[in-house]
Structure 1
Amino acid sequence: MAAVTAAAVSTSAAAAVTKASPSPAHCFLPCPPRTRAAHQRGLLLRAQVSTTDAAAVAAAPAKKEKISKKQDEGVVTNKYRPKEPYVGKCLLNTKITADDAPGETWHMVFSTEGEIPYREGQSIGVIADGVDKNGKPHKLRLYSIASSALGDFGDSKTVSLCVKRLVYTNDQGEIVKGVCSNFLCDLKPGSDVKITGPVGKEMLMPKDPNANIIMLATGTGIAPFRSFLWKMFFEKYDDYKFNGLAWLFLGVPTSSSLLYKEEFDKMKAKAPENFRVDYAVSREQTNAQGEKMYIQTRMAEYKEELWELLKKDNTYVYMCGLKGMEKGIDDIMVSLAAKDGIDWADYKKQLKKGEQWNVEQLLEGGARPPASCPTAEDKGHLSQVQIPARCICVWQCNGFKI
């Protein structure tokens, strides 16, 4: 690079002629003319600077590539896109909430024939059949995958989702059905389903088989953690055996809304030293002070134990669900950290930097918010509809209805 620069300078110097330098745009005074010698001296100086810069760049140490603490080797993303989705088949579709639960949640299994090589913690997109009010295909919706990489059948040829049917009343008193959530919940075995992805690396599992993994979920936010837990406790691998602590906190409105409880009971019986699960049933349970039992309320009962875990280098926190959940946890940890002379906000930044604090927010129905989702103030519906306060697109934006 230095040789090329010097050669270019010599050529320019030989061809240089004496002429007045133009005045800078901000200056109305004429600049004095420069001589050929002065011009050549300036070019020579620039050549020397360029040579020095090139040498400095060559001598600078190469940037070390950051090594992730997560299971990211060979992870595939965006193999299938909206214009050319993979067309799978619905194999199973089962309602997994009781009839008296506030809302329906369905567990569905799609065939992939091994063509969508996803990992635990990734998501897929689904494009509902039909067209929108403008006659265009519906926009895709991203859903967290609820099965391990082996799939529910153990052959790596299926993918599963956990989806809540979205039905709500808008500000005009009209009953509105979410496009994609209702499409998915109504699927019959044998039906085609258009799938994109897989996407995402943020929620991948840690590599360390001895890690402490704290999982916080509300409703269908349980999906990625079901995939984690199946890999940890229901499957066998030559290169992975979980020996750490998996601690799940699941928040739901009623006991009839609890998801996958039988599976978690089996895991707990199988590995009591490695798996803990605590439920927060907000409409049925209260704490000692008579407060409703939300997920952060339940966590507060174990706050000292959780803080001790968070001080360890091998502890990872994963959240999937409502936005307010994270603030509730912040409120718990601020005072505990302060007792140890630690600023919680700064400490959480360190956890995020070290890939130990991972958050995924969901819309009602279990879909992830679109990147261009509009923002607005809370319109008072958040108590009935699980949707982040920063996003009310199910009421205002037809293009983003789920």
Structure 2
Amino acid sequence: MALILPQVAATTFLVSDSSLKLRQSLFIKTRNVNSFHKAVPSVFANFEPLNQQEFDCRRNVSPSCLENAGPAPKNLYTVNSPLTATIRNKIPISGDSPRKRQAYHIVLDHKGKLPLREGQNVGVMLPAKTSVLPDNAKEPRYFPCASSRYGDTFDGTTISLCVRPVPETISEFLCNSKEGDEIQLVGPTGEKLILGDDDDKATHIFVATGAGVAPFRAHLRRFFREYIPKFTFNGFAWLFHGVYNVESLDAYYREFQKYQVDYPKNFQYNIALSERISSNYWRKTYVQNIFEEHAESVFEKLVDEGAYIYFSGRKEMVTPIQNALMKVAEKKCKNWEKELAKLKNNNQWRDEVY
């Protein structure tokens, strides 16, 4: 079953029962986020909202020095000299399923000692006192930050990560952790998913699979949830997001849908949902399938209007998306390879995939 949100003016939701028995489907057409959640409580009843209190207004942020111009900070902390942080909160963001790969939004308190830019990564190491380390947990595990430079607390003292457990790795340790546990951080690192242009009127196209949406959540919070005296976003952001099934639908879904309702001229949100319909039937809709429907519009924004495009998540999505854009180029009698080279040379094509 596919869930597609092509336009805010006529948004269509197709959602199945989150009990996984999938005995019925609901078909609803609405522009109001609150009424949508009330109409389909079977999907959202067991999700704990992320920062729900902030949805009514923008939040003031501090400290102002985080807006200082200059290059993004890099490698402030290393394996030999890490920063100790504590787990401040751990919120499940993929429903109440007993599945072993439950996703979590994890907030880390670094006491204001880890400045970074939206789109950067941080490395996580286990505490030095950890007695037994599996081979897969001896090196830092890098995660894209799901919060802006001001963190989930808007005061520059926290960062947040979107984590799924992988057995015998640092990811599993994080997902099994509790409030107050200590970890060690290295970094920040990475520049590929930092905005290619700080112009507040720029167009940014984000393409993500699963938890790869984390860095784009950071950008969107800065655009639409934080009140920053020196920055107001007047451009256009477009998010394409592929999720595994209905359980992972709430991984920042409420925030993104709220932005679409509040800022329809500045934000568009398209989501692809893959889901098991029965024991022997699986309907798969990938992010590239949704992207293909809008390839011509994206091509025009990239080639004619100077937009920036960013990829985060599974690398398998990139080739089909390039093929879709190549078909548009052929239709317009343009050479896609040359256009792609120009985009990369201008830093308009930015990816961090695996």
Asked if 1 retains the 8 angstrom alpha-carbon contact of 2:276 and 2:283, the reply is no
* Residue in structure 2 matched with residue 95 of structure 1 by the alignment: 92
Q: Does 1:109 align with 2:107?
A: yes
Q: What is the distance in 2 between the residues matched to 1:137 and 1:280? A: 32
1:307–1:133 Cα change, 3 Å: closer
SS at match of 2:257: helix
Q: What is the distance in 1 between the residues matched to 2:238 and 2:219? A: 11
Q: What is the distance in 2 between the residues matched to 1:284 and 1:159? A: 34
Q: What is the distance in 2 between the residues matched to 1:300 and 1:218? A: 15
Asked if 2 retains the 8 angstrom alpha-carbon contact of 1:72 and 1:204, the reply is no
Deviations 1:218-243 (A, max 9, x none): 01101100000000000122221111
SS at match of 2:275: coil
Q: Does 1:265 align with 2:257?
A: yes
* Residue in structure 2 matched with residue 228 of structure 1 by the alignment: 219
* Residue in structure 2 matched with residue 397 of structure 1 by the alignment: none
1:282–1:321 Cα change, 3 Å: same
* Residue in structure 2 matched with residue 158 of structure 1 by the alignment: 158
* Residue in structure 1 matched with residue 318 of structure 2 by the alignment: 326
Q: What is the distance in 2 between the residues matched to 1:297 and 1:326? A: 12
Measured after TM superposition, the shift of residue 284 of structure 1 is: 6.3
Q: What is the distance in 1 between the residues matched to 2:276 and 2:298? A: 24
Q: Does 1:128 align with 2:126?
A: yes
**Matched residue type, 2:82:** P
With a CA cutoff of 8 Å and minimum separation of 6, indicate the structure with the bigger relative contact order: 2
Measured after TM superposition, the shift of residue 72 of structure 1 is: 7.2
Q: Name the Cα RMSD after superposition.
A: 2.1
Question: What is the correspondence of 1:378-393 to structure 2 with a 5 Å cutoff?
Answer: none
Q: What is the distance in 2 between the residues matched to 1:96 and 1:220? A: 10
* Residue in structure 2 matched with residue 369 of structure 1 by the alignment: none
* Residue in structure 2 matched with residue 196 of structure 1 by the alignment: 186
SS at match of 2:352: strand
Displacement over 4 Å in runs of 4+: none
Asked if 1 retains the 8 angstrom alpha-carbon contact of 2:152 and 2:160, the reply is yes
Asked if 1 retains the 8 angstrom alpha-carbon contact of 2:87 and 2:182, the reply is yes
Q: Does 1:183 align with 2:137?
A: no
Measured after TM superposition, the shift of residue 292 of structure 1 is: 3.4
Deviations 1:24-80 (A, max 9, x none): xxxxxxxxxxxxxxxxxxxxxxxxxxxxxxxxxxxxxxxxxxxxxxx9724210000
* Residue in structure 1 matched with residue 228 of structure 2 by the alignment: 237
SS at match of 1:278: strand
Q: Taking every aligned residue pair, what percent have the same amino acid on both sides?
A: 33
Q: Which has the larger radius of gyration?
A: 1
**Matched residue type, 2:331:** K
Measured after TM superposition, the shift of residue 164 of structure 1 is: 0.9
Question: What is the correspondence of 1:288-307 to structure 2 with a 5 Å cutoff?
Answer: 292-307=284-299
Deviations 1:312-335 (A, max 9, x none): 343000000001110010110111
Q: What is the distance in 1 between the residues matched to 2:263 and 2:137? A: 46
**Matched residue type, 1:97:** S
Question: What is the correspondence of 1:42-57 to structure 2 with a 5 Å cutoff?
Answer: none
1:137–1:213 Cα change, 3 Å: closer
**Matched residue type, 2:121:** S
1:347–1:179 Cα change, 3 Å: same
Measured after TM superposition, the shift of residue 94 of structure 1 is: 1.0
Deviates more, 1:344-353 or 1:210-219: 344-353
Deviations 1:367-390 (A, max 9, x none): xxxxxxxxxxxxxxxxxxxxxxxx
Question: What is the correspondence of 1:282-361 to structure 2 with a 5 Å cutoff?
Answer: 282-283=274-275, 292-361=284-353
- Which structure 2 residue ranges, 5 or more long, are not aligned? 1-67
Q: What is the distance in 2 between the residues matched to 1:336 and 1:101? A: 44
Deviations 1:280-306 (A, max 9, x none): 012269xxxx98321111111112212
**Matched residue type, 1:146:** A
Q: Does 1:139 align with 2:131?
A: no
1:312–1:91 Cα change, 3 Å: same
SS at match of 2:208: strand
1:93–1:203 Cα change, 3 Å: same
Q: What is the distance in 1 between the residues matched to 2:69 and 2:246? A: 36
Asked if 2 retains the 8 angstrom alpha-carbon contact of 1:93 and 1:107, the reply is yes
The number of aligned residues is 277
Q: Which TM-score applies when normalising by structure 2?
A: 0.74
